[in-house]
Every structure is written in C-alpha cells, then in structure tokens.
Structure 1
Amino acid sequence: MPDTDMPRRGSPSATRLVLTLALCQFTALMDRSLLAALVTPIKASLGLTDAQIGLLQGTGFAVLYALAIVPAGSLADRITRQRLLLLGLSVWSLGVLGYVLAPGFEWLFAASLLVGLGQAVVLPCSLSLIAERVVTPHRARANSVLTSAGVAGRAVALIGGGWLLGALGGTAGLPMTPWRAVILTSLAVNLMAFLALVTGRATDPVLVASRTTPTPTPSPTLRDALCWIAANRSAYVILLVLLSATILTIQGVAAWTPTLLHRRFALDPATASLWAGCITVLAGVAGHAVGGFAVDAAIRAMGLRGAFINSAAALALACPGVLLFTQAADIGVSLAGLVLFAFAMGMATPTGLTLLQGVTTIPAKGTVSGLMLAATILCGLGFGPLLIGLASDRGSAAGDGLASAVVTIVLPVMVVGITAALAGTRLRSGQTKSR
C-alpha cells in the first residue's frame, strides 16, 4: 500500500491531513486562475483572441492534465504520496515561470501544458487519502475543506492579481510588463507550499500510512480499477456526466467572470478581478461549507441517493444565478446573480467528489479517481472556456457577445447535469448505499 515507507511518529489527526492537502489545492487553483485575472492585459500585450484565451485557460491545461492524471492516480496507490505532491508542485511551478517568460501564444500554451502535467497529482492523492483516513460521516466535510481551499486559491488569484496589477500599472521602470510581474510574484506562494511539505515530513509528517502495522497486500492495478468501473458502469456513467457538467459550468464561468464584468460595466481589469475574487471567496467558500454539511446529513439519512438529490438541487439553484449575472443591466443585480451562482456551485462541488468516493470501495481508489477525473476534466475544463471563447468570437467583442456566449454554452450543460443527478437517485440501492 502507498505511504508505508513514510516515517511514523504516531497517528496524526485527520484534520492536519486535510489541511495539508488543502494547502496543495489552494496553490494549484491560485496558479491555474491567474490568467483569468489578467486576460485583458495579456490580450493587449500579445494580440490574442478570445478563442486563444479559452485554449490557454481550458484546453491547454486540460490536455496533459487528463493524460497524466490516470498514471498519477496509479502512482498514488503505489508510492509515497507526499513525494508525488512535491514532484507535481515543482513541475507546475516551472510552468508558471513559463508564463512569465512567454513571448507569444505558443509559449503560453506550452506553459499551460506543463502546469496541467504537474497539477495532475493533486486530486488523486488527496481523494484517496481522504477516503482512507476520514470516516464516512465526516468525509463530505473533509472534501468541502479541500474544495474550499481551491475556491480560496482562485479568489486570491483574482483579488491579489487584480490589486497587484492595478498597483504595478502606474509604476515606472519595471523590468517587465505588469501582468508578467504579477505571475512572477505568485511563485512565492509555491515556494511556501513546497517548504511546508518538506518540513512537514521532517518534523511532524502528515502524509503517513493509515496502518501502524502494514499488511502485505497486492498492489492495485489498472485492471482492477477498470474491472470495478465496468461492474458498476451505470453509477460511473452518471457520475461522469454529472462531474463533467459541474466542472464545465464552474470553470467556464470562472474563466470569463472578470472579463465579462470589464466588458459589460466598463470596470477596469483590476477592479473587475477584485469584485470577482471577493464574491468567489465569500459566496463560494460558504457554499462549499454548507454543501459539505448538507451532504453528510443527506448520506446519513438516505445513503448516496441523498447526495445525488443535493447535487441536483445545487445545480438548479445556480441556473437563475448565471442568468442574472450575464443578463441583468444593473451591476448590483448582476453581482447578486454571481453571488447566487458561486454559492450554489460551491455546494455542488464537494457533493460530486463525495459521490465518487462513495461508489469506489476498492484499494485502487487513486487509479479509479484518476480515470474518472481525467475524463471529467477533459470534458469540463477542456471544452468550457474554449467553447465560450469561440462563441464570443462568433458573436461580437462587446459585452453582450460574451454574456450570450456564457448562457448559450453553460445553461444547457447545467440542465444535463441536473438530469444526470436525478438519474442517480434511481440507481439500485447496492450502488448508492454509503459504505
């Protein structure tokens, strides 16, 4: 089993474990979201189109992420997960440095591939550790801490990136353009995360084996994972559709939120990023917290069927939010819609991950998670920002063109996700019973 080679100094608390994983997720989402805060200056500096921006924020990241997450999940079942996280952090930090040095679209795209490659290790390691180390009645709350950290990372990228962009915009004598300086500054957080993981191993290790006396067992294989998925294919097909719809909705809207505020209400890029970041961190984190507690309660009452019901309700609540955000003529009403959307989608995120853990009860948790996440990330993140960018380019460069593109792409996907969640409530009891 993984992590048996780690030093053992007693059994660390599940809380410390989850917080350590949350730190990695925070850093990953912060780095991934920086481009959303800097769309306008990057476009102006390098002469990019909306479709190219969509490629950078979605497809470029998702291609290697999806290809790498399956072997990353397999490695998470076999080797020390802390070392895997350290390796991944190093690789995606090099990708972030590539953003700073990029002379044009091709270099930016290559850097986004590298970021995706490195970040592929984070969720398989995290989900398998939480599934092993956190008891079922508290698992959704543990997942909500993990996903809330991702929301906080995205918010810090928007708030901090927007503020720093505005602060550096009037500074003379900078050795690089302000948007490049913003990205370079973010690497300080990566260094802090790296040092935290290294010192955590040396002093009070958090990523240790869940068994004080390891029992020799065969290493999980890809064949084991595929056989399990095939035997429970109805549940996994529904989860694939539900998770893909959730990710596409969140990432598609998040990638274009600051730009949409800039174009529709003539906010400067820094102010638009600040608004987007504040709403993301306040409403989004609140939604994740509420979702975690609600799903734990629903699972106790109805098994995983209750989690499917929660997921459908969260997606349904997000629909009027995205409509108000993209269509309201008044900025106050539009921002209120964004608050509702961020809160509702925050509720949906830990629900989907808890469902994935709930139906995966074999030792090859990391491999199964990797397979499922590869497919959902490729469908959701790979196509969400890109399709919105393409639809916007075909419409107009005005705010209404981008707003219409968001609604045209996202709203039908949300309906598909609601349908999948409702289908999940009708799975036979053996596939929806929490274990």
Structure 2
Amino acid sequence: MTTPIGAPAAGTPSAPVATGAGLALLMLGIINLFNYMDRVLFSVLLEPIKHEMGFSDARMGLLGGFAFALFYAVFGLAMGRLADRSNRVRIIAVSLALWSLATAACGLARGFPSLFAARMSVGIGEAGCVPSAHALIGDLFPPERRAWAVSVFTGIGSLGSMIGLVLAAALVADHGWRQVFFYFGIPGLILAIVVPLVMREPPRGRFDSTSANVAAPGLKTALSQLFANAAVPHLLIAIPFFYVTVGLSTWIPAFFQRAHGVTIAEFGRSGGVALGLGVLIGTFAGGWLVNRLMRRHRAWEFRLPALSALASVPLFAATFLIDDTNFAYGLLFLGFLVSGLGMGPAMSCMQVAAGPHVRATAVALMVFATAIVSYGGGPALIGLISDLALAYGLAGDAATALRIALILGLIPPLVSGLFFQAALVRQRRTTPALRARP
C-alpha cells in the first residue's frame, strides 16, 4: 500500500527525514503558490479598480493593505493556536477553499464596502496557510534542513507571484478586472478538495527532544514559553521589517504605469517577470546558500536575512529613481533577487526560537506582526504618503508622489538587520550550535 504524502514510515521514528517529506513539501509549495498568486492579484488590478471605482490612493492602500492584512493577522493567531492542537492538513484545505472563494467574490464588488469585505475574507482564508504549513515543515524535516525546506516552500510560493503578475496583466485588457478574479479563484477550490486526499498529518515533535505525546499548552502558557526567550520579541520586529519590501510590491505595478507610462500588459510581460523571477531565483538560491553556510556555522540562519535586507535597499531605491524603464526592470529583478536570499531563513529563525508544541503559535505571531507591518501598514502608509505629498505640493504629479512614498518605505528593511543580530545574540544563550567558535 502506498504511503500517504507526509506520513512517517511505520517503525522508523528516528529516520533522518520523514517518509514522503519531499512530496509533502511540494504539495505545500503548490498551495503556497496559490496563496501568493491570489495575494498579488490585487496589485496588478489596482489601477483599473481605482479608475472604475474612483477611489483615492489612500483608499486603494487600505484595500490592498489593511482590508487583507488586519484580518489575516488576527485570524492567523487563531489559526496558529488551532494548528498546535488540531489536524493541520485539514486546516490548510479549508483555508484554501475559503480564500479561493473570496478571491472570486472580489469580482462581484460594487463599491468600497463590498470590495473591503471580499478582501477581508481573502485575508481570513489565507491566515490558515502559513502557520500550519510551517508547523508541518518542522515535523517533516530535521533542524539542519528546515531553513532549506522553508526556502523551497517560500520559493514555490514566489512562483505564484510571477504567475499572478504576468497572467493577470495579460488577461485584464481583454476580460476586465472582475473576470480575472474569477479565473484565479476557481482553481483553488479544486485543489482544496485534493489536499486532504493525498496528504496525512505527521507526528508532532518528530525531530525534537520533546515528546510528541505532550499536549499543546494553553494560550497563556504558550505565550509565556515563547516570550521567555528574549530572541522572540526581536524576531517579531526583524521579520516584519525585512518583509516590508514585499508589502511595497503592492504599489510597484502602479508606479511603473504612472512613472514610466507602461500599460498593465507591458508591465506584466517585463516588470512582472523581473519581479517574480527575482524573488523565485533569490528564494531558492537563498535556501541553497544558507544550507551550505549553516554547515560552517548555524548563525548564518540569522545573518543571511540581515545582509540581504541591507544589500537590497539601495537596489530598490535606484529602481524608483531611475528614468530608463528597461534599466529599472533590471534593478527591480536584482532588488528582489537579493532580498529573496533572506526570505526563507528569515522565517525559519522563528522555528529556532520555538519548541514543537508552540511552533504554529510562534509562526502565527510572526504572521500577525508581518501582516500588520508589512502587508497592511506598508501599502496603506504608502498610499497615504502619496496622497499627502500631492496635496501639500511636495510632488508635482501622482508618479512623483508615489516615488517619494516608496523610497520612504525602504527605511524598515534597512534597519531590520540590527534586530536579526540582536535576536542571534539572545538565541545563543539557549542554542549551543549558534555560539561562536572558540
């Protein structure tokens, strides 16, 4: 009889990697592909929606940011607690069905309230994906391979960003933005039916010293355990600050349309490919690189995201400042490639700080902070700054106003490295492998 994906082989609890772990990771990656694909869709359709609905940049920032991120964050905490206690595969399947249905519902919106509600529902659905998937990865792969596995999971998801950007940009001209939401939402409903049929729940704590039979603690106890580790608060700042550049990508298609005069389809063919390939190559390369670097010293799991954030900021700044469109696309590719190197390790740092029975809760806290700061606060603040720059005469046109806002948005990732280093210093107290060599 065939072993279900993710199920451990009977009688081999000490095997180096769970049976079917690679196939389970691939399935989780495909689900994450749909996650990213549906999430990036709004950024491609932002300008057509804005013109049809007559919304300001501030309102579009709320729809692209907080309408999704606030509910993604709040429900992510609840889903993290549920994932520490319940079947994570089923949680992912139900979540996928909900956000796919909500994505299709965006195409039915007739005004700000209905579009806000649809975007809110996308956030609620997607909230169940990342905490459950990260917790599963923690039970499918040993500690020395988790950063690589998280990078693969994130990298396949990043492929969804590129598909979403390119495909939506190609479809919107002929089919309209409403129909595009339907095209993207329906396939996810089909995948949601397949997931519980081919994946099984692995035992918790398979690669940890804690017994898998220990029950997940209550919320108060779980939070006490997490925050007893001084590295956790620093990671809850470092990771969201690092991911602000991902949140800013909500406005990048609109920026190129305004500043460079390209159409949505033109941006999709060039800018969408540049952005998507940059994240895709960077994330997979980062997984490979951190895997090699960690053989020398485990501290690279913290150092690589710090360095990639620092190196990517000037590339993004140049992207927003340069007038040559093709050169700007090249810089956009490089910026997301360099940033992508740290995306997997940045998230896996939280698994270093959390034990197996609070791991989903820890990831949910990370998702909460990232959603509020990166996916919610970033796009909303960019829209507000853009409107204010135009209203107070700091910019002569909408393109310049958005350029100013995007450059100011690069400050958080610039300082995220300080918090990764602080987290590393504190984690060394409890993790001998992270300590400096004599």
- Counterpart CA distance in 2 for 1:41 and 1:414 is 30
Name the stretch that deviates more: 261-270 or 393-402: 393-402
Instruction: Pick the aligned partner of 2:76 from 69, 82, 85.
Output: 69
Partner residue in 2 for 1:194: 192
Instruction: Pick the aligned partner of 1:364 from 358, 362, 370.
Output: 358
Q: Quick check: 1:307–1:355 contact (8 Å CA) kept in 2?
A: yes
* CA offsets 1:158-203 (integer angstroms, 9 cap, x no match): 10000111333xxxxxxxxx11011111123213321331431xxx
CA RMSD across the alignment: 2.1
How far 1:247 sits from its partner (Å)?
1.9
- Counterpart CA distance in 2 for 1:122 and 1:165 is 27
Secondary structure, counterpart of 1:101 in structure 2: coil
**Which structure 2 residues correspond to residues 2-13 of structure 1 after superposition, within 5 A?**
12-13=19-20
Partner residue in 2 for 1:173: none
Secondary structure, counterpart of 1:258 in structure 2: helix
Name the stretch that deviates more: 256-265 or 92-101: 92-101
Identity of aligned residues (%): 27
Partner residue in 2 for 1:277: 272
Q: Quick check: 1:299–1:434 contact (8 Å CA) kept in 2?
A: no
Partner residue in 2 for 1:392: 386
- Counterpart CA distance in 1 for 2:191 and 2:19 is 19
Instruction: Pick the aligned partner of 1:346 from 335, 340, 346.
Output: 340
Instruction: Pick the aligned partner of 1:242 from 233, 238, 242.
Output: 238
Whether 1:230 and 2:227 are equivalent positions in the alignment is yes
How far 1:432 sits from its partner (Å)?
5.0
How far 1:288 sits from its partner (Å)?
0.4
TM-score by length of 1: 0.89
Amino acid at match of 2:235: L
Q: Quick check: 2:101–2:186 contact (8 Å CA) kept in 1?
A: no
How far 1:415 sits from its partner (Å)?
2.0
- Counterpart CA distance in 1 for 2:374 and 2:427 is 27
How far 1:370 sits from its partner (Å)?
1.3
- Counterpart CA distance in 2 for 1:335 and 1:211 is 44
Instruction: Pick the aligned partner of 2:261 from 240, 262, 266.
Output: 266
- Counterpart CA distance in 1 for 2:330 and 2:150 is 26
Secondary structure, counterpart of 1:402 in structure 2: helix
* CA offsets 1:384-423 (integer angstroms, 9 cap, x no match): 001111111122353221111100122x112221221233
Secondary structure, counterpart of 1:255 in structure 2: coil
Higher percent of residues as helix? 1
- Counterpart CA distance in 2 for 1:425 and 1:15 is 29
TM-score by length of 2: 0.89
CA distance change for structure 1 residues 428 and 240 in 2, over 3 Å: closer, same or farther? closer
- Counterpart CA distance in 2 for 1:117 and 1:380 is 17
Secondary structure, counterpart of 1:78 in structure 2: coil
Amino acid at match of 2:407: V
Whether 1:288 and 2:283 are equivalent positions in the alignment is yes
Whether 1:28 and 2:35 are equivalent positions in the alignment is yes
> What residue ranges of structure 1 are gaps of 5+ in the alignment?
1-5, 169-177
CA distance change for structure 1 residues 402 and 74 in 2, over 3 Å: closer, same or farther? same
How far 1:424 sits from its partner (Å)?
3.3
* CA offsets 1:260-301 (integer angstroms, 9 cap, x no match): 111111101221133232112322111001111222233332
How far 1:9 sits from its partner (Å)?
7.8
Whether 1:182 and 2:180 are equivalent positions in the alignment is yes
Whether 1:257 and 2:252 are equivalent positions in the alignment is yes
**Which structure 2 residues correspond to residues 122-137 of structure 1 after superposition, within 5 A?**
122-137=129-144
- Counterpart CA distance in 2 for 1:409 and 1:364 is 32
CA distance change for structure 1 residues 390 and 158 in 2, over 3 Å: closer, same or farther? same
CA distance change for structure 1 residues 8 and 136 in 2, over 3 Å: closer, same or farther? closer
Partner residue in 1 for 2:296: 301
Q: Quick check: 1:324–1:337 contact (8 Å CA) kept in 2?
A: yes
- Counterpart CA distance in 2 for 1:36 and 1:28 is 14
> What residue ranges of structure 2 are gaps of 5+ in the alignment?
1-5, 11-17, 391-396
* CA offsets 1:2-22 (integer angstroms, 9 cap, x no match): xxxx98886641101111111
Amino acid at match of 1:302: H
Instruction: Pick the aligned partner of 2:100 from 78, 93, 96.
Output: 93
How far 1:434 sits from its partner (Å)?
5.0
* CA offsets 1:204-260 (integer angstroms, 9 cap, x no match): x34443699x96432332233212222112x112111111112222111x1011111
**Which structure 2 residues correspond to residues 291-330 of structure 1 after superposition, within 5 A?**
291-303=286-298, 305-330=299-324
Q: Quick check: 2:33–2:158 contact (8 Å CA) kept in 1?
A: yes
Q: Quick check: 2:312–2:339 contact (8 Å CA) kept in 1?
A: yes
CA distance change for structure 1 residues 111 and 428 in 2, over 3 Å: closer, same or farther? closer
How far 1:27 sits from its partner (Å)?
0.8
Q: Quick check: 1:130–1:139 contact (8 Å CA) kept in 2?
A: yes
- Counterpart CA distance in 2 for 1:220 and 1:23 is 31
**Which structure 2 residues correspond to residues 141-152 of structure 1 after superposition, within 5 A?**
141-152=148-159
Whether 1:407 and 2:407 are equivalent positions in the alignment is yes
* CA offsets 1:105-164 (integer angstroms, 9 cap, x no match): 111111111111111110111111111110122211111111112211111111000011
